């Protein structure tokens, strides 16, 4: 999906990314298998979807078990949403998998 440099969604995505990195949260890089925050532009809502993705050892290999993976995922999703709210973003729950939708910077 291509999003134009002049699209407000692009600006929001850049602002969300910057806020999370400034707060010290790593970004998920799928090719490396490392854990971190997963960001996805949601064109239909004009927002950015935010979710935690654990390292492959926890999420795919289940080295600590499925219950630990689920608990850590829920905790980190809540933490990421809280950080964004504290930094002035409008955040709401999205879907059943723990995603958050960021729609604006207040």
Mean pLDDT by 10 residues, the chain (106 residues): 80 96 93 89 95 86 89 95 98 94 95
Task: Report pTM.
Answer: 0.89
Strand partners, 51: 38
Could you give the dihedral angle defined by the CA atoms of residues 17, 96, 74 and 52, in that order, rounded to the nearest 10 degrees? -30
**47-53 and 89-94: which strand pairing?**
unpaired
Per DSSP, the three-state class of 28 is: coil
């Amino acid at each position: 999906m291509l999003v134009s440099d002049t699209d407000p969604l692009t600006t929001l995505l850049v602002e969300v990314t910057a806020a999370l990195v400034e707060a010290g949260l790593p970004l998920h890089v799928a090719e490396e298998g490392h854990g971190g925050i997963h960001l996805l532009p949601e064109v239909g809502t004009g927002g950015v979807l935010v979710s935690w993705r654990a390292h492959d050892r926890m999420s795919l290999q289940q080295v600590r078990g499925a219950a630990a993976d689920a608990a850590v995922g829920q905790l980190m999703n809540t933490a990421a949403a809280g950080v964004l709210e504290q930094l002035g973003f409008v955040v709401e729950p999205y879907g059943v998998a723990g995603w958050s939708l960021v729609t604006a910077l207040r």
